[in-house]
Amino acid sequence: MNNGSNRTADQENCPPEPPFAIDVIRELDVYGIVLYAILTFMATVSMLVFLEECVYIYKKVPPKKKNLIIWVNGAAPVIASMSCMGMWIPRAVIVTDLTSATYFAMVVFKFLIMMLEEIGGDEAFVKRGEKHKLKISTGPCCCCCPCLPDVAITRRTLFLLKLGSFQFAILKLVFTIISLILWTNGNFSQQNMTITGASIWINPFVGILTIIGLWPVTMTFMHLRNTLQSIKIVPKYAMYQMLLIMTQLQTAIINILAMNKVIACSPPFSSPFRGYMLSQKLLILEMFIITLVNRLLYRRQYDPLPEEEPGDNENTKMVEITVSA
């Protein structure tokens, strides 16, 4: 009975609005100060490692790949920095979350273009695909549809692959701007899931755009994963997938638990904003680790891939086009 009454009292003492930064600092005990200092240090190191990597890329990487690799490498440090800002300034968490999500949407498109550049560019991709088909029964859209036919790789196919990811990058930016405008007017809140709230309409549509945007990247990776083994494309794609899981799935699960009061409130944070804070802290740690792993993967000599030999079909495991006599 006492535990129930204490929880009710805590809920009543928790303000619905997030606290100011100065209130967070005043509430920190020794453990909180140490935790915040360590996480801030991790976010700072992540950004410094990224800046050092940018210098290396500008000196060692061919011009066409510089911009792409910097964009992909910058995902984890940018998300860590945004999460650190959201941790210290809780009232800005909606801005930091939307900024991180928008940057990741750009990374989805840049990762696709990076794979194409690693193979030698658009012309090389189409040329290598003259004897092979593209498997479209892959996640996240059609992994449950193995009966779907493979399609020939043409310029039109390549255009559709790029368009699928590019629309996610552009429309995510558009919806971020709309969300921020509505948020400043008090019409957008992740906690307001009623039919009259903007969040209930925007989030599902963005979810559909995300699935459509990820599909071309998965198809291209499945098509080129063996051809690009020499540049460690599999662990690079694994890090890209980890970014997706941590920033999208993990954050969504924590927010759902917090909105349903599974994560108890703790003054000065209500349950939803305590969930936000937990998500920010986890992301800083995870992005720090991903930053260090990416540094090992992308810091290498960038030599052109060898030309595909006629006997490489079995090694690359691409589907050959059967030509009828």
pLDDT of residue 40: 95
The predicted pLDDT at position 290 comes to 94
In this predicted structure, what is the pLDDT of residue 292?
93
Ordered by where they begin, the domains of the chain are: 19-300 (1.20.1070)
Please give the structure tokens belonging to residue 59: 């000196």
Q: pTM of the predicted model, to two decimals?
A: 0.84
Long-range pairs for 82-85: beta carbons < 8 A, 24 or more residues apart:
83/43, 83/279, 83/280, 83/281, 83/283, 83/284, 83/287, 84/39, 84/40, 84/43, 84/44, 84/280, 84/284
Read off the tokens for 6: 């204490």
Q: What are phi and psi of 132, to 5 degrees?
A: -130, 155
- What averages of pLDDT result for each successive group of 10 residues across the chain (325 residues)? 47 71 86 93 94 88 85 93 92 88 92 88 78 71 63 83 90 89 80 72 85 88 84 89 87 84 79 86 94 87 56 43 38
